[in-house]
Structure 1
Amino acid sequence: MRKVFVETENFGRFHGALKAMERRGAAESCLMVVDGLPGLGKTTTVNRWAVQNSAIFLRAKREWTAGWFLDDLLSALNVSPPHSFKARFQRATEALAVRQSTFAVEKRTFALVLDEADHFSRSQRIMETIRDLSDSMDLVTILVGMGRIRHNLTAYPQISSRVGPGQRVEFQPASLADVTKLIAELSEVPVDADLASFVHQISGGFSREIKESIAIIERFGRRNGNGPDNPVTLRALRGQILGANRATGQPIIVPETV
């Protein structure tokens, strides 16, 4: 399978929210929320963007405290954490401000990305610490989670009000067009339209399941010499396992009647 990043409709939604962030009228509206069910490519998409744009990317831990969050942030900023919470917050603010000013000179947007935000979105102290950091310099902050963030943020109107119009992104299951594009760009053997449609159907549009099916199709295609003039067809895979049911774990077999 080719190791390439495929720009799906979810990527387009994320990119659109970034553009909305750039056009925001109020500087303090600098929070973005990215959520959706597990397996839809949120972390892959946002982490890739963070790497390409030199953003700070942190993955939250289940037992995160405000102090632990600052320790992880300072580590990512290559700053040794002092002992007191107040000193850690000050060091983090100073280091972030330096990074942000450097980006401003280059006319680039500096951002802090916090993945697995569900772990801390109900912690008032962590959320207030993030707000204080963000407010101190209008720092673009992206919260990535699995769907509970929006609900949990309603408990903090002073924070949720900083998520401006167009800055909430909900990742959706891949469409048939997405699945067709993923197969075309990832698979090293060609696949016909009926088989791509079947993969869309059995995968539920989840990235992991789509890629598992592509790997199976590739192995089959290599064994059988499929090439540009001879794509793998759905009929050719009759009776073959093409994946597993996400809910039950049971194998999904291509029916003999297709």
Structure 2
Amino acid sequence: MYNKFVRTSNVLNFLAGFTALETRGAAESCYMLVSGRAGYGKTGTARWWANKPEVNGVYIQAAAGITPHWILAEIVRELGDVPDRRREYCFGQALRKVALARRPIVIDEAEFCLNDPEVLESVRGISDLTEVPVVLVGYDKIMSKLAPYEQLYSRISAIVSFNPLEVVDVRACCTELAEVTIHDDLVEEIHRQSAGRLRLIKEGIGNAERHAKRNKLAEVSLDDMRGQVIINNWSKTGKGRS
């Protein structure tokens, strides 16, 4: 399978959301919120976008137990410096670095930051002073979890929801990622079994491609996959076999 990034409808919505953020009216409203269930491609999109040369974003993946100093230290490290062990000095480091670099900050798994209100407050302190865009990426319930944090919630100027991919997206993934031709009937079956989850779509493409190569097929259809596992969906017994 080719190692390529496919611009699905969710990706296009992400890009449109950031364009809306850039053209915001209030300078302090510099936050974009990206939400969706697991497997829809949020993390892959956030990393791809942050790594684009014209973006050069500061990508941070939050985790359980994150603290205000932890996130400030990560910002400092990503901007090429050694963080101070003292939180107040680390904040100053991060502020200076962000103000100089002018690079957007992407915080993935942002729901972990909500366990301690001061984590995102530390980021807000930097964004308020620098007006650098901040992209928060989290699970589908993160919007309601953020609502009580009015100081931060009011600064969100763009909201993007990652939804199940449509057949047209699955077809694009098959065309761009598979090293064999996948017929439309198999595309539709991959879409059905994956329920539009990008992670499972890639699994289906990989299984179809491997089966085709084992049998020296340049093209693979749904009929070719009869009796083969297309997607291992452990939550629904029997769903993965054609």
Q: Shared topology, TM-score over 0.5? A: yes
Partner of residue 190, structure 1? 181
Partner of residue 107, structure 1? none
- Mean CA deviation greater in 196-205 or 121-130: 121-130
Partner of residue 67, structure 1? 69
- Matched residue type, 2:77: S
- C-alpha distance after superposition, 1:116-154 (max 9, x if no partner): 101012421112111111101111000111123211111
Structure 2 distance, partners of 1:234, 1:169, is 34
Find runs of 4+ consecutive structure 1 residues off by over 4 angstroms: 248-251
Partner of residue 27, structure 1? 27
Structure 2 distance, partners of 1:85, 1:114, is 19
Partner of residue 169, structure 2? 178
- TM-score (norm. length: structure 1): 0.89
Structure 2 distance, partners of 1:246, 1:10, is 25
Alignment of 1:1-258 (within 5 A): 1-52=1-52, 53-100=55-102, 110-164=103-157, 167-227=158-218, 231-248=219-236, 252-254=240-242
The 3-state SS of whatever aligns with 1:220 is helix
- Structure 1 regions of 5+ residues with no counterpart? 101-109
How far residue 233 of structure 1 moved from its aligned partner, in angstroms, is 1.3
Structure 1 distance, partners of 2:138, 2:124, is 17
- C-alpha distance after superposition, 1:178-227 (max 9, x if no partner): 00110111111111111100110001111121111111111121233322
CA RMSD of aligned residues (A): 1.4
Do the aligned partners of residues 23 and 215 (structure 1) sit closer, same or farther apart at CA in structure 2, a change above 3 Å counting?
A: same
**Larger-Rg structure:** 1
- TM-score (norm. length: structure 2): 0.95
Structure 2 distance, partners of 1:78, 1:137, is 18
Structure 2 distance, partners of 1:208, 1:136, is 38
- Structure 2 regions of 5+ residues with no counterpart? none
Contact 2:32 2:136 in 1 (8 A): yes
Contact 2:73 2:94 in 1 (8 A): no
- Identical counterparts, % of pairs: 33
How far residue 248 of structure 1 moved from its aligned partner, in angstroms, is 4.4
How far residue 68 of structure 1 moved from its aligned partner, in angstroms, is 1.3
Structure 1 distance, partners of 2:107, 2:211, is 40
- Matched residue type, 1:190: T
How far residue 249 of structure 1 moved from its aligned partner, in angstroms, is 6.7
Do the aligned partners of residues 118 and 10 (structure 1) sit closer, same or farther apart at CA in structure 2, a change above 3 Å counting?
A: same
